[in-house]
């Protein structure tokens, strides 16, 4: 910012220096009188001449006013913007954010942008799922990052903050703040505002797990437990871990687990697993189906017939799953 300020003020200093040299050369005035006359000419305050001027001096003054006043005003404007722009930028950004938040629907709200919240947010964005982040403190990555993440600053346990994040139009909420008490309050408030919301909350203590479930969480996750289970998995199932790590290193999760929701207009309805040829045409394995009444069918047979509101859990690579979504015109 200091270097920008120097670049902005340098032309102003050159104009003032030009005036001082001009009056000194033409009228023979001393440094102070030349500076004084230059300043009152550029600022057009109209105090009058400090000494009688020659015709050449008057001509120089007119030249200084015509060429210098506009430049002087422009430079002062730029200097002001150097100091005020950050404040204007924040106000404009917040106004734009509010307008976008009013339009967003079927999105996920992530409360807390720590390590877990950040990973969840970036994963959802990568999948093309709209996300709104709620965090207590301003974050440069959120404000200036390439992902254009919508963010609401405030306490996620407060109703007004959740409403601003569009909770009544949201599809789900992930409570990932570090305080377990806050996660309970966030879950309670979110459930009260949107009874149909999918709520996933983090916990560390088993006592908190029970409170979160009673507060209305659909799923609870212990990130540290997941980490320990992964370590154990590496020890007990080394080959599986090697394959999964290899897939991640290649930038494509070769064994990606995904979900397809069978809406009312989906052409899968009325077809059996064998008839739709998902396995033959797309090399996709259906591992489970959750029916509308909550019943879960694992490893469905070839004669299973798809119904409205079925949720099909499948395993395949990203390319094949994307092709399936495109074929059946289904959104994730």
Among the ranges given (8-17, 117-126, 238-247, 270-279), the one the predictor scored with the smallest mean pLDDT: 238-247
CB atoms within 10 A of CB 186: 31
Q: Are 109 and 127 in contact, with CB atoms under 8 Å apart?
A: no
Nearest one of 116, 168, 18, 149 to 10, comparing CA atoms: 18
> Average per-residue pLDDT in the chain?
80
Cα–Cα dist 108/198, whole Å: 9
Q: What is the DSSP letter of 313?
A: E
Measured between its terminal Cα atoms, the distance across the chain in Å is: 45
Q: What pLDDT score was predicted for residue 82?
A: 63
Q: Residue 331: which residues within 8 A CB-CB, separation 6 or more?
A: 325
Specify the CATH class of 104-227 in words. alpha beta
Nearest one of 331, 313, 214, 323 to 266, comparing CA atoms: 331
User: Tokens for 260?
Assistant: 């397809």
* High-pLDDT (> 90) share of the chain, %: 25
User: Tokens for 285?
Assistant: 């394995």
Q: Are 172 and 198 in contact, with CB atoms under 8 Å apart?
A: yes
Q: Are 315 and 260 in contact, with CB atoms under 8 Å apart?
A: no
Select, from the ranges 145-159, 193-207, 224-238, the one with the highest average predicted confidence (pLDDT): 193-207
User: Tokens for 30?
Assistant: 């001393």
How many alpha carbons fall within 13 Å on the CB side of residue 129?
18
For residue 184, name the pLDDT band (cuts at 50, 70, 90). very high
Q: In the predicted model, is pLDDT for residue 228 greater than 70? A: no
Look-up of token digits 């007004």: 160
Phi, psi values for residue 265, rounded to 5°: -100, 15
Q: Name the segment(s) of the chain with CATH classification 1.10.287.70.
A: 2-99
- Residue 116: helix, strand or coil by DSSP? helix
Beta strands 108-111 and 131-135, pairing class? parallel
> Span 191-207, mean pLDDT?
91
- Angle, helices 55-103 vs 2-27, to 10°: value is 160
Beta strands 198-202 and 172-175, pairing class? parallel
Select, from the ranges 26-40, 65-79, 192-206, 306-320, the one with the highest average predicted confidence (pLDDT): 192-206
Cα–Cα dist 261/69, whole Å: 67
Fold classified for 237-327: Alpha-Beta Plaits (3.30.70)
Q: In the predicted model, is pLDDT for residue 80 greater than 60? A: yes
Q: What is the DSSP letter of 178?
A: S
- Angle, helices 31-43 vs 2-27, to 10°: value is 110
Q: In the predicted model, is pLDDT for residue 292 greater than 80? A: yes
Mind listing the pLDDT tens digit for each residue in 239-285? Answer: 766 666 665 555 554 567 778 888 888 888 999 999 988 888 888 88
Cα–Cα dist 156/162, whole Å: 6
Question: Helix-strand-coil percent breakdown of the chain, rounded to 5?
Answer: 55, 15, 30
Q: Name the segment(s) of the chain with CATH classification 3.40.50.720.
A: 104-227
CA distances from 33 to 166, 213, 244, 305 (A): 64, 81, 80, 96
Look-up of token digits 């949107």: 194
User: Tokens for 280?
Assistant: 């033959």
Greatest alpha-carbon pair distance for the chain in Å reads 107
Q: Name the segment(s) of the chain with CATH classification 3.30.70.1450.
A: 237-327
Per-residue exposure over 42-63, b if at least 16 CB sit within 10 Å of its own CB, e if not: beeeeeeeeeebeeebeebbee
> Span 161-165, mean pLDDT?
93
Which architecture does CATH list for 2-99?
Answer: Orthogonal Bundle (1.10)
């Amino acid at each position: 910012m200091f270097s920008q300020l120097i670049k902005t003020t340098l032309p102003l200093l050159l104009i003032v220096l030009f005036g001082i040299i001009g009056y000194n050369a033409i009228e023979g005035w001393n440094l102070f009188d030349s500076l004084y006359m230059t300043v009152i000419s550029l600022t057009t305050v109209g105090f009058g001449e400090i000494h009688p001027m020659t015709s050449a001096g008057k001509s120089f003054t007119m030249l200084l006013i015509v060429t210098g006043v506009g430049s002087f005003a422009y430079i002062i404007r730029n200097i002001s913007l150097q100091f005020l722009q950050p404040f204007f930028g924040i106000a404009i950004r917040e106004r734009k954010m509010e307008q976008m938040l009013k339009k967003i629907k079927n999105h996920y709200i992530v409360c807390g942008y720590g390590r877990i919240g950040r990973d969840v947010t970036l994963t959802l964005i990568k999948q093309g799922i709209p996300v709104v982040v709620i965090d207590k403190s301003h974050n440069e990555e959120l404000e200036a990052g390439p992902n254009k993440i919508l963010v609401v600053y405030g306490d996620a346990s407060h109703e007004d903050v959740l409403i601003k994040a569009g909770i009544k139009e949201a599809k789900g909420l992930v409570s990932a703040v570090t305080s377990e008490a806050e996660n309970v309050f966030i879950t309670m408030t979110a459930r009260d505002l949107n009874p149909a919301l999918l709520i996933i909350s983090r916990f560390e203590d088993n006592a908190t797990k029970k409170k979160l479930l009673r507060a209305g969480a659909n799923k609870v996750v212990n990130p540290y437990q997941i980490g320990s289970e992964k370590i154990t998995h590496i020890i007990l199932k080394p080959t599986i871990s090697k394959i999964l790590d290899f897939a991640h290193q290649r930038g494509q999760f070769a064994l990606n687990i995904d979900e397809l929701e069978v809406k009312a207009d989906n052409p899968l309805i009325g077809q059996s697993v064998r008839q739709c040829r998902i396995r033959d045409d797309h090399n996709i394995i259906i591992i489970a189906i959750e029916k509308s009444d909550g019943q879960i069918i694992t490893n469905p047979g070839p004669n299973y017939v798809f119904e409205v509101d079925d949720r099909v859990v499948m395993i395949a690579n990203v390319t094949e799953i994307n092709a399936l979504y495109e074929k059946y015109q289904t959104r994730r």
